[in-house]
Structure 1
């Protein structure tokens, strides 16, 4: 099964000229969802990872499954104001303005090995902010993992000092 074929492409959303890659169709397909989660598990099962960091919101879906399968903890990185305890913050630029992500200040311990997971990397703003948050907590980032990459948007430029793993990509499509 080609996972790419299970991802819905929506032209001109959220604005004209953008093709939105909708992974909800992959997630609702039991074989595609299982395959994508199994690919992530097979990649990390022998790497002695301590925790999975999932990015709000679809990074929670894939990250939580991966943490469960690995038998390790899951750490949510959320949009500002959504976490109930003491947090640290990182603000990043959007096309129109900026946004802020947060993580609990006790989410990871110094030196812990983590993998950051999200569904898609496009411009890299959210993952770039997440990398900065994890580094502030002095954890070791093993890799950033994504189901889909949109390489023409150069999101990797935001995380040049981290290894990146991608299952599939849409380049200029």
Structure 2
């Protein structure tokens, strides 16, 4: 894939440690990547943990956000950079969909459809997740993604599943 500039959507999640600070720091680090500009960051949302077997109300709740970036990094290189940011924030991979200090996912890249062993774009479950769709519409209100089309109506349907998170003093 060539090094042309593309917009991309990156999803952030954290349910361990200082969740809000971790997401803020990771967003800054994302914007500091060479060839990458952080265009917009959604508000933080709180949601129940989703595990392989479904919603886990006993697990710590997640804070989630979405960033709209512009980058000249090819998707595989961007994935490598995101994994480095996760690792720098103490991400440990003990179980699939387990609790984590930081999770960064490439959700969508303008004009890219691909499926490899480690990366599928668009993200195969993104449109099922309120904690991705709602903040995505915050940063890109006119987003359209096949097969759904406009995301705004879907975001309106899913908004009740999460709450906007406000820091407490």
Relative to the length of structure 1, the TM-score reads 0.29
